[in-house]
Structure 1
Amino acid sequence: MKNRECPECGRPVHGRIDKKFCSDACRNAFNNKANSATTNYMRNVNNTLAKNRRILLELNPDGKKKTHKDKLLKKGFDFDFYTNSYTTKAGDIYRFCYEQGYLLLDEGFVLLVERKNED
């Protein structure tokens, strides 16, 4: 029978024939390393989306407001990140960070809106 080695630490693996790691700690360490690049990217995207949502909430406490794009940019808003978009029949594109959204208007203005749950 061939001796199997743990791909994380190199120690011998004992037990079931399909067992790959010597311990749960090695299995977790191996998988964490393998997924770290994806995890870091996802963490950064989620942090940006959350920040965008916080900014929209702060500037739009009443559910609908018109403001200038510069105000959002000064607070660190990133227009490249949003969770979904909605195009009206007129062709206007609303972009949303979860339930908080915005519509780009003329002359650098932005209409802030809140999508209400339809439960």
Structure 2
Amino acid sequence: MKDVRVCLNPVCDRLVLGRSDKKYCCDGCRSAHYNDTKQERKSDPIVTIPKFQKNNREILRVIYEKNEGNAIVSKIYLIGLGFNFMYHTHFMITYERKFLQCCFDYAIRVIDDYLVEVCKSNDDVPNSKKN
């Protein structure tokens, strides 16, 4: 007696007929199952968080290079460009105890409720001691 195989699409319970290596009962089930698993991968934080971090870094890089160095911009301007304040790579504290939120090699320092300073996190740290 042949194996009784059921379609791999979780919402379908039909039997699979045909070749022995066939997994789905029809192209519609195969496509639906693929799209469902693809959607699950898109919402996986391991995939989405680095995208946000890279986007934040690119926004900071453009602002930094456009202003040829440190720039003071509003938080609303950053948000309008697509910057997300929740995603960063690390924090730094300068010698003067100023707190920086870094995205790879660029950083922002909160000045007040509305303004932030965009700088390089490795060498152009605002008001840091240099040797």
Report the counterpart of residue 97 of structure 1 in structure 2: 103
CA distance in 2, matches of 1:44, 1:56: 19
CA distance in 1, matches of 2:93, 2:43: 35
* Stretches of structure 2 lacking an aligned partner (at least 5 in a row): 123-131
Query: Quick one: structure 1 residues 47 and 73, their matched pair in 2 at CA, closer, same or farther if it must change by over 3 Å?
Result: same
1:53 aligns with 2:54: no
State the identity %.
18
* Stretches of structure 1 lacking an aligned partner (at least 5 in a row): none
> CA RMSD for the aligned pairs?
3.8
Query: Quick one: structure 1 residues 98 and 34, their matched pair in 2 at CA, closer, same or farther if it must change by over 3 Å?
Result: same
Shift of the alpha carbon at 1:48?
3.8
Report the counterpart of residue 87 of structure 1 in structure 2: 92
**Contact 1:56 1:100 (C-alpha < 8 Å) held by counterparts:** yes
- The alignment's TM-score, normalised by the length of structure 2, stands at 0.54
**Contact 1:63 1:112 (C-alpha < 8 Å) held by counterparts:** no
Q: How many residues align?
A: 110
Q: Over alpha carbons, which structure has the higher Rg?
A: 2
SS at match of 2:59: helix
- The alignment's TM-score, normalised by the length of structure 1, stands at 0.58
